[in-house]
Amino acid sequence: EDKVVQSPLSLVVHEGDTVTLNCSYEVTNFRSLLWYKQEKKAPTFLFMLTSSGIEKKSGRLSSILDKKELSSILNITATQTGDSAIYLCAVRFGNEKLTFGTGTRLTIIP
Amino acid sequence: KAGVTQTPRYLIKTRGQQVTLSCSPISGHRSVSWYQQTPGQGLQFLFEYFSETQRNKGNFPGRFSGRQFSNSRSEMNVSTLELGDSALYLCASSLIWQNYEQYFGPGTRLTVT
């Protein structure tokens, strides 16, 4: 069964720290991996990674796809309190459905 | 460009009733997906529509159904509501249905009493 696992489940760091969030998957016929940020509302799209685009960066956020290890990391540098959120990873596999992980809850302490 | 809109934003229903939720995708987007989000199960895929056709379906009972109109707007219907149907229902749109970025609407919070 296709599966997406995120770690850690929760993380508390101080403002200014750098964090790394992990997403691993067991899927057949991988198509793409998407990262979302969810605060008290709907998920906000961050990145989409595919076989042809394994690294993305936007400001302090960056993400890398490791197809050999079937995983991805999301890095956030110089964290700010506004980065506090649940970060969701989703994988699209052969039949095009998106399967979501349970998310990592990130809390930034001022 | 306006984002994905969902109506209503909040809804309270009693067991046994039925409910219809609406989603309008981003202008130009032709694919709409529906998800159920609960604290225990996280985000779970319900179904996806493109060009008025259901392209994919998740593992939900037949009480959950949907449709898409020619203007790409979509509705989902839940019949014979159960307490366990209480959740945030999210709609997401993408340009087409194959391997494109999905953008979420604000969701409809459904409470079943």
Which residue do the tokens 């259901």 mark? B54
Please name the member of A43, A96, A101 whose beta carbon is closest to the beta carbon of B97: A96
List pLDDT tens digits, range B92-105.
999 876 667 889 99
Mean pLDDT of chain A: 92
Cβ separation B43–A42 shorter than 8 A: no
| CB-based contact B104 A44, cutoff 8 Å | yes
The pair of structure tokens assigned to B45 is: 């895929």
| pLDDT surpasses 90 at A16 | yes
Judged by CB atoms closer than 8 Å, whether chains meet at B56 and A42 is answered as no
Number of H helices, E strands in chain A: 0, 11
* Cα–Cα distance for residue pair A11/A14, rounded to 1 Å: 10
- Model confidence pLDDT, tens digit, residues B50-74: 999 999 899 999 999 999 999 999 9
Nearest CA in chain A to B93: A45
Name every chain B residue with its beta carbon within 8 A of the beta carbon of A98.
33, 45, 102
Q: Quick one: pLDDT band at residue A104, thresholds 50, 70, 90? A: very high
How many other β-carbons are positioned within 10 Å of the β-carbon of residue A11? 16
A97/B43 touch (CB, cutoff 8 Å), yes or no = no
Task: Summarize the confidence of residues A44-67 as an average pLDDT.
Answer: 91
Please report the pLDDT score of residue B75 as a whole number.
98
User: So what's the pLDDT on residue B99?
Assistant: 62
B interface test, pick of A45, A52, A86, A93 with most B CB neighbours within 10 Å? A45
For residue A30, pLDDT beyond 80: yes
Per-residue model confidence (pLDDT) at position A17: 97
Spell out which residues of chain A touch residue B90, defining contact as CB-CB under 8 Å: 42-43
Residue A10: pLDDT over 80 = yes
pLDDT tens digit sequence for B2-34: 899 999 999 999 999 999 999 999 999 999 999
For residues A73 and A20, the answer to whether their CB atoms sit within 8 Å is: yes
Nearest to A93 by CA among A43, A33, A40: A33
Kindly report the average pLDDT of chain B as a whole number: 93
Q: Is A81 helix (H, G, I), strand (E, B) or coil?
A: helix
Nearest to A43 among B55, B98, B104 (CB): B104
Give chain A's radius of gyration (CA, Å): 13
Mean pLDDT across A31-55: 89
* Residue A46 pLDDT > 80: yes
Q: Residue B55: which of A92, A96, A100, A29 has the closest Cα?
A: A96
